Amino acid sequence: MSEYIENDRHGLSVGIIEKRFHITAEPPHEMLLECDARLGPITIAYETYGTLNPDKSNAVLILHALSGDSHVAGYYSEKDKKPGWWDSMVGPGKGIDTDKYFVICSNIIGSCMGSTGPNTLNPKTAKPYGLEFPVVTIGDMVRAQKFLIDALGIEKLLSVVGGSVGGMQVLEWCARYPEMVDSAIPLATTTKHSALAIAFNEIARQAIMTDPNWNGGDYYSGSRPETGLAVARMIGHVTYLSDQSMRLKFGRRLQNKNDFSFNFDPEFQVESYLRHQGRRFVERFDANAFLYITKAADYFDLAEQHGNGSMVEAFSKTNARFLVVSFTSDWLYPTYQSREMVKAIKKTGQDVSFCEIEAKWGHDAFLIPNPRLSSIIGGFLNRVFNETT
Amino acid sequence: MSEYIENDRHGLSVGIIEKRFHITAEPPHEMLLECDARLGPITIAYETYGTLNPDKSNAVLILHALSGDSHVAGYYSEKDKKPGWWDSMVGPGKGIDTDKYFVICSNIIGSCMGSTGPNTLNPKTAKPYGLEFPVVTIGDMVRAQKFLIDALGIEKLLSVVGGSVGGMQVLEWCARYPEMVDSAIPLATTTKHSALAIAFNEIARQAIMTDPNWNGGDYYSGSRPETGLAVARMIGHVTYLSDQSMRLKFGRRLQNKNDFSFNFDPEFQVESYLRHQGRRFVERFDANAFLYITKAADYFDLAEQHGNGSMVEAFSKTNARFLVVSFTSDWLYPTYQSREMVKAIKKTGQDVSFCEIEAKWGHDAFLIPNPRLSSIIGGFLNRVFNETT
């Protein structure tokens, strides 16, 4: 096992260090995946923030959602328009305090944000994988992350934290590596996708795969399936919002004028907003990566995969303390799904705190600055840190 | 004003008579639309069931939703696999009893089910209209229906009944022709689309309009935008269901086997179901009609268009008795929207009954056989009929 640092870029603030880690366990540097295919060599993009303490007891692993990346907080340079995706939560003195904790944020395999994914060169063909990339699971993503944590010399994670698909990775960490997880914070997530969540993912995938430019996934040397990916993103985006948040943010307001255009141009503000979200997403995200990550999320089923169908059994190996958070207006992973999780954890006798936060912003609420959420997470981590060390 | 009967097909059962009505008010037989364009000549496909009584006091007008048609009940012949779309409600001895009432079901303009719409030949070019078809509103649809009701010699409708986009037409009838409506039954509907409803419609339209075969709406002589329309239908279809109904109907069950395929073929039952729905819809519906009808629904805003922004004012002209019905799991037009409607009607002093029906099936619940709904509607119509005549 060795680690190669491809770039080692230090950020402007909060001590970001951006790195690439190469899993090179043994030649030919391949990992056997759950689908029985082999993938390798594998690179994982990750960032760290803050300092690992001498007894390596202050490491917090943050796991990102579908379209996220390893850049969880801070700015790389003054040119950056936006900080990392969870800057409201992660940084000096924030909920996840980088003055106190050593924060690692790892990109997932299958993504297009620096880690090995369908847009990476396939060493066997010297062309991007496209659909030659094997279907990876949440389990595969977490196993790849485990190589990284091992390479960093960390034996126990003070906490594993993530929302949405990141929350699935949190649950997978607890079930797969129970000895390594002191505490877990799954936010706005589920132990398995409902038929509704699978349906929206499948329609989004259909939008991509029926775009003629998708070309069976082989589009890296030509036009990309931009219209399909934009529609896919718009579908996803609406499922992250809520009736109430959209009513407050857009209502029925028109974009430019007070009267209808009587044509099919965007005219309601919500229409322009969605088209804008679609366009922006296409600039930064790969259509195949969207297919692979949504598929991994659809496949995830904690009880089936770790408990022979029993959620209690799936949680029985972990000794982690849990903080489970759901949001009232999240209709993609509604609170009842978090309650089921909490009930199962309680049955194992583990320590679990559950918090349903009143929020208008739907599934995306976990990403939106919220002093209450910061304080709950900060307090929980503080307690675990004090009781563990 | 004259009526031409193009076909006069009598159905197997429940006394269906299928007809075409041509609006020919005055040459050049055009109707001035709300967008200020002129459309004509206009054909309306409609069906009637039962017999108009001598004093013409038993006419019930049924209005259909987005993808519906004038064939509300019964079978045309023994070859038909399915009866009309609301056969559970309409027929001898049913909730809307065709032994007692004269039922008219009118297709809407802008549709592709026999009435003038974007797939109709444009008399000016002798080619299908495509996007030359003017954007029609719910108001235009109802004004066209008014020509039909006048031609049938009916001065007062015992009731106007419809769900979803049909319910919008019901509300429009009450506001626009208050003197003609004795009672109204708007089901699973709203006085205006929320941002969420507009968002889903817009994404569905985007799916159609980004299909290269859509070709700016001019596709009738070549390949049709089938993949775009299929995606649009899948989006719509999911919004008509509910988390609970999908969990009960599909859950996470796989189509053919017990293990994952690790590819992007449909494997969850809900995926196969949605693809099937998409394919079936493409066989029977026109992509441009989908654009026009969803746009009309997005534009509809009863308070803005009939009450200077006040819903109470919009309802103030009608003397109709109302039966408003919503369904607990309808998240497209949630109950709170029906309650707002009921509150406004009450403020005008009108007679209104409100019923929120406990149902798992989401927005589509109004179409699903439900003895309670049949009995509520039957009882309401009976009371109105007895008190009116």
The stretch B14-37 carries a mean pLDDT of 77
In whole angstroms, give the CA distance from residue A133 to residue A116: 9
pLDDT at position B6 over 60 = no
Of A202, A212, A268, the CB nearest to B298: A268
Determine whether domain B197-294 maps to CATH 3.40.50.720: no
A363 is catalytic: yes
The stretch B238-242 carries a mean pLDDT of 97
Cα–chain center distance at B276? 22
Q: Which of B3-7, B61-65, B196-200, B312-316 has the lowest mean pLDDT?
A: B3-7
pLDDT at position B25 over 90 = no
**Chain B contacts of A203, Cβ < 8 Å?**
231, 234-235, 238, 274
**Separation in Å, CA A234 to CA A275, B237, B260:** 7, 16, 27
Cis upstream peptide for A41 (omega within 30°): yes
Assess contact for A228 and A212: CB atoms under 8 A: no
Mean pLDDT of chain B: 94
In whole angstroms, give the CA distance from residue A315 to residue B150: 69
Q: Which of B138, B193, B203 to mutate to test the interface with A (most CBs of A within 10 A)?
A: B203
Segment holding B325, helix H or strand E? strand B321-327
Give ipTM to 2 decimals: 0.94
Q: Which of A206, A246, A273, A300 to mutate to test the interface with B (most CBs of B within 10 A)?
A: A206
A329 is catalytic: no
**Separation in Å, CA A207 to CA A100, A193, A234, B284, B285:** 45, 20, 10, 21, 19
What per-residue confidence (pLDDT) applies to A2? 44
Catalytic residues of B: 164, 330, 363
What per-residue confidence (pLDDT) applies to A141? 98
Mark yes or no for CB contact B270/A202 under 8 Å: yes
The CA-based dihedral angle spanning residues A322, A326, A331, A334, taken in that order and rounded to the nearest 10 degrees:
50
In whole angstroms, give the CA distance from residue B137 to residue B28: 21
- Which of the four pLDDT bands, split at 50, 70 and 90, describes residue B257? confident
Strand partners, B377: none
In whole angstroms, give the CA distance from residue B149 to residue A139: 63
pLDDT at position A93 over 60 = yes
- pLDDT tens track for A143-202: 999 999 999 999 999 999 999 999 999 999 999 999 999 999 999 999 999 999 999 999
Cα–chain center distance at B131? 22
CATH 3.40.50.1820 domain extents, chain B: 9-192+300-388
pLDDT at position B387 over 70 = yes
Assess contact for A63 and A87: CB atoms under 8 A: no
- Which of the four pLDDT bands, split at 50, 70 and 90, describes residue B258? confident
pTM of the model: 0.95
* From A164, A242, A326, A338, the catalytic residue: A164
**Which residue of chain B has the CA closest to A136?**
B262
What per-residue confidence (pLDDT) applies to B13? 53
- Which of the four pLDDT bands, split at 50, 70 and 90, describes residue A127? very high
Mark yes or no for CB contact A211/B209 under 8 Å: no
- pLDDT tens track for B141-174: 999 999 999 999 999 999 999 999 999 999 999 9
- For A381, other C-beta atoms within 10 Å of its C-beta total 23
- Which of the four pLDDT bands, split at 50, 70 and 90, describes residue A15? low
CA distance, residue A137 to nearest chain B CA (Å): 9
Mean pLDDT of chain A: 94
pLDDT at position B4 over 60 = no
The stretch B101-130 carries a mean pLDDT of 96
What is the percent of chain B with per-residue pLDDT over 90, rounded to a whole number?
88
Name the phi and psi angles at B205, rounded to 5.
-65, -40
pLDDT at position B381 over 70 = yes
CATH 3.40.50.1820 domain extents, chain A: 9-194+300-388
The stretch B308-314 carries a mean pLDDT of 98
- Which of the four pLDDT bands, split at 50, 70 and 90, describes residue B76? confident
pLDDT at position B290 over 50 = yes
**Chain A contacts of B233, Cβ < 8 Å?**
none
In whole angstroms, give the CA distance from residue A85 to residue A113: 13
**Which residue of chain A has the CA closest to B278?**
A203
**Separation in Å, CA A251 to CA A201, B84, B157, B195:** 26, 36, 34, 5
The stretch B323-338 carries a mean pLDDT of 98
CATH 1.10.1740.110 domain extents, chain A: 197-294
In whole angstroms, give the CA distance from residue A101 to residue A50: 6
- Which of the four pLDDT bands, split at 50, 70 and 90, describes residue B77? confident
pLDDT at position B215 over 90 = yes
User: CATH homologous superfamily of domain B9-192+300-388?
Assistant: Alpha/Beta hydrolase fold, catalytic domain (3.40.50.1820)
Determine whether domain A9-194+300-388 maps to CATH 3.40.50.1820: yes
- Token pair of A17 as six digits: 């260090």
